[in-house]
C-alpha cells in the first residue's frame, strides 16, 4: 500500500522533497500503532510473564480464542530449549545442522528464485516493456494499476490462506505466474517476427494476472518459511531469506536490460517463467503443509535434542 501511495503521489506531480515529507508523516502511523500491539507471546513466556502472554494470545487469536492449550505448548517448548540458543551465533550454527539445514536450504532457493521471477523487473521497467509491444501507458498510471492489483491479490490471500492451505496456494499461484510469463514471452517472440499486431491487451492482461497471483502466493511463502523454521533460529533464518529475496530482486532488475540485449524480450520473460516454475516444482516436491497446526506442533523439540546431543 505504501508503494501504491508513492505512485499516486507521483501522479499528482509532487517533487521528491514533498514526497519525502509525506512518507515521513505516514511512517509515524506504525510507530503509534505499535504502542497498542502486545509483545510476542513466546517472548513474554521466556521472560516469565505468563499472564501477559495469555492476554497477547487472546489479542492475536480473538476474544473467543481458547489460549490455554497454545500457552501450555509454548511454555513446554521454551522450557525444553537451552538458554544458550538465544544467541545469534548459536542460531546461525543451527541453520547448518540437522534437521534445520534441509529446510534452510529449501527456503534459500525458494526466496532466491522468487526474487528472480520478474515481478520487480516489471515494476521497474513497465514503461519500456509496454513500449516494446507498442502499448502506450502513462508510467504513473501503470504503476498505480500494478500495485493496486497486487494489493487486491494480498486481500484475496487473507481470505483463502486458511481455507486452501499454504502449500496449495503457493503451487497454484506460482504455476499461474509461470504461465503468464511464458505467455508474455511467446507474445514478444510473435510480435518480433510480425505474427501479431494491435494486440497489446495480451501482455497487459498477462501482467495483471501475474501481479495478482504473485500477491496471493508470495505472502503464503513468507508464512510457511516462518512456520517451518525452528523457533530457536527463526529470526536469523528469516533475516537471511529477506536478504536473498532482495538480492534476487536486485539481480532481476539490474540485468534486465543486458538480458534483453543478449537474448531478447521473449527469452528474458521465458527465464522469468522458469524461475516461477522452479518455485512451483520445489513446492510440490518438498514443502510441508502447516495449516491448522501450532508453531510448537510443527517444530517440536528436535532442535533442543540436537543441542543436547552436540553439547554446543
Work out the pLDDT band at 276, boundaries 50, 70, 90: very high
| Consecutive H or E run containing 131 | helix 126-132
What would the pLDDT profile of 14-23 be if each residue is shown by its tens digit? 888 888 898 8
| Predicted confidence (pLDDT) per residue in 73-103, tens digit | 888 877 766 555 556 666 677 777 776 788 8
280 vs 307: CA distance, rounded Å: 33
> What pLDDT does residue 296 have?
59
Q: Compute the distance between CA of residue 92 and CA of residue 104 in angstroms, rounded to an integer.
A: 11
Number of other residues whose CB lies within 10 A of the CB of residue 81: 17
Query: Which of 63-72, 110-119, 265-274, 288-297 shows the lowest per-residue confidence on average (mean pLDDT)?
Result: 288-297
Supply the pLDDT for residue 105.
86
CA distances to 172, 213, 216 from 153, rounded to whole Å, are 13, 6, 5
Asked if residue 99 has a cis previous peptide bond (ω within 30° of 0), the answer is: yes
Name the E strands within the chain: none
Task: State the Cα–Cα distance between residues 212 and 170, nearest whole angstrom.
Answer: 13
Which one is predicted more confidently, 125 or 221?
221
Calpha distance 22→24 (Å, rounded): 5
Report the chain's C-alpha Rg in angstroms.
22
pLDDT of residue 282: 92
302 versus 162: the higher-pLDDT residue is: 162
Rounded distance, CA 268 to CA 270, Å?
A: 5
Cα of first residue to Cα of last residue in the chain, in angstroms, is 44
pTM for the model stands at 0.75
**So what's the pLDDT on residue 281?**
95
Pairwise CA distance, residues 281 & 258, whole Å: 28
Distance, CA of 196 to CA of 113 (rounded, Å): 31
Q: Residue 291: which region, alpha, beta or left (left: phi > 0; alpha: psi -120 to 50)?
A: beta
| pLDDT for residue 302 | 44
For 145-155, how does the pLDDT look when each residue is reduced to its tens digit (9 = 90+)? 888 888 999 88
pLDDT tens for each residue of 33-55:
888 899 988 888 888 889 999 99
Question: What is the rounded distance in angstroms from the CA atom of residue 261 to the CA atom of residue 117?
Answer: 18
Please, what are the domains in the chain? 89-310 (1.20.1250.20)
Number of neighbours of residue 103 by Cβ within 10 angstroms: 20
**Residue 309 pLDDT level (bands cut at 50, 70, 90):** very low
| Cβ 89 vs Cβ 230: under 8 Å | no
- Contact yes or no for 229/96 (Cβ under 8 A): no
- pLDDT, one tens digit per residue, over 197-249 is 666 677 778 888 999 999 898 898 888 888 887 776 777 888 888 888 889 88
pLDDT at residue 198, as a whole number? 64
Candidates 157, 125, 122, 143; CA nearest to 273 is 122
Separation CA 5–CA 34 (nearest Å): 21
The answer, yes or no, to whether residue 305 has pLDDT greater than 50, is no
pLDDT exceeds cutoff 50 at 255: yes
pLDDT (0 to 100) of residue 304: 46
Residue 279 has pLDDT above 90, yes or no: yes
Amino acid at each position: 500500500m505504501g508503494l501504491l501511495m508513492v505512485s499516486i503521489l507521483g501522479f499528482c506531480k509532487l517533487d521528491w522533497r514533498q514526497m519525502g515529507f509525506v512518507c515521513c508523516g505516514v511512517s509515524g502511523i506504525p510507530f503509534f500503532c505499535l504502542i497498542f500491539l502486545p509483545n510476542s507471546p513466546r517472548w513474554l513466556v521466556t521472560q516469565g510473564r505468563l499472564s501477559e502472554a495469555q492476554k497477547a494470545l487472546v489479542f492475536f487469536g480473538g476474544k473467543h480464542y481458547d489460549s490455554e492449550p497454545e500457552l501450555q505448548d509454548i511454555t513446554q517448548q521454551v522450557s525444553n530449549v537451552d538458554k544458550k540458543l538465544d544467541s545469534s551465533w548459536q542460531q546461525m550454527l543451527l541453520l547448518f545442522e540437522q534437521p534445520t539445514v534441509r529446510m534452510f536450504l529449501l527456503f534459500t532457493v525458494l526466496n532466491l528464485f522468487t526474487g528472480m521471477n520478474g515481478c520487480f523487473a516489471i515494476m521497474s521497467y513497465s514503461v519500456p516493456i509496454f513500449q516494446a509491444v507498442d502499448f502506450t501507458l502513462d508510467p504513473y498510471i501503470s504503476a498505480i494499476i500494478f500495485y493496486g492489483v497486487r494489493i487486491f491479490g494480498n486481500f484475496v490471500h487473507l481470505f483463502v490462506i486458511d481455507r486452501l492451505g499454504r502449500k496449495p496456494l503457493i503451487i497454484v499461484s506460482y504455476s499461474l505466474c509461470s504461465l503468464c510469463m511464458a505467455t508474455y514471452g511467446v507474445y514478444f517472440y510473435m510480435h518480433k517476427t510480425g505474427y501479431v499486431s494491435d494486440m497489446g491487451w495480451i501482455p497487459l492482461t498477462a501482467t495483471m494476472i501475474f501481479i495478482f497471483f504473485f500477491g496471493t502466493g508470495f505472502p503464503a511463502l513468507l508464512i510457511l518459511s516462518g512456520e517451518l523454521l525452528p523457533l530457536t533460529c527463526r529470526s536469523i533464518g528469516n533475516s537471511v531469506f529477506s536478504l536473498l529475496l532482495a538480492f534476487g530482486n536486485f539481480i532481476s532488475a539490474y540485468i534486465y536490460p543486458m538480458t534483453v540485449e543478449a537474448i531478447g524480450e521473449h527469452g528474458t520473460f521465458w527465464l522469468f517463467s522458469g524461475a516461477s516454475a522452479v518455485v512451483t516444482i520445489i513446492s510440490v516436491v518438498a514443502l510441508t503443509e502447516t495449516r491448522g497446526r501450532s508453531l510448537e506442533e510443527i517444530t517440536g523439540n528436535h532442535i533442543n535434542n540436537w543441542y543436547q546431543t552436540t553439547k554446543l
